[in-house]
Amino acid sequence: MTKQYSLKNLPPGSKGPFSGPRGRSIPKGFRRHVAMRITLLSLLLLCLAAATPARAELHITRDHGGYVEEYKAKYKRVREKGERVIIDGICNSACTLVLGIVPMNKICVTPRASLGFHQAYYDKAFTFGIKVTSAEGTSDLMSYYPDKVKDWIRRNGGLTTDMKKIKNGVELWKIVDPCPEEW
């Protein structure tokens, strides 16, 4: 059993907590060397953890849309980070921009997924609370969609003021792959 000493009552001749075996003092240079190696090892492990691809994902469950520019910025960040997107519920209006901004191989749908498309509107704050469609905004939306989405919209009468929904099933799977089990 070894004795524990505090710095206050060290035995006579002791070099303190920085003494090695047989009471010899550990040189300051060696202590610095060990501390630096531990720090470098810690930094290396931190870098390795940061470089490991994260399994980050955006989980869409109930998104009714909003401002187009905000969605463009959001999905651009998702794309740049290489994140996956799981559509697991409602994705309407500006939410559907995900299909044109994030690579399709990073997007999947669950059995609860549904997509809703309509014409773009001006902000009601500027139109006295009245829904006023925007031809320019609608054209901008359409420019982002991949051909499979544009084809579905055309086959279903184009974008109108009414929400056109596509629910989970074969028709949706022609546009977006169903999520694999591990997602």
User: Of all residues in the chain, what percent carry a pLDDT higher than 70?
Assistant: 69
| Residue-wise pLDDT tens digits, 24-83 | 666 666 556 555 555 544 554 554 544 444 457 999 999 999 999 999 999 999 999 999
* pLDDT surpassing 50 at residue 116: yes
96: tokens are 């559907």
User: Of the candidates 120, 117, 121, which has an alpha carbon nearest to the alpha carbon of residue 171?
Assistant: 117
Cα–Cα dist 123/142, whole Å: 18
pTM above 0.85, yes or no: no
The whole-number pLDDT of residue 143 equals 97
Which residues pair with residue 84 across a beta bridge?
57
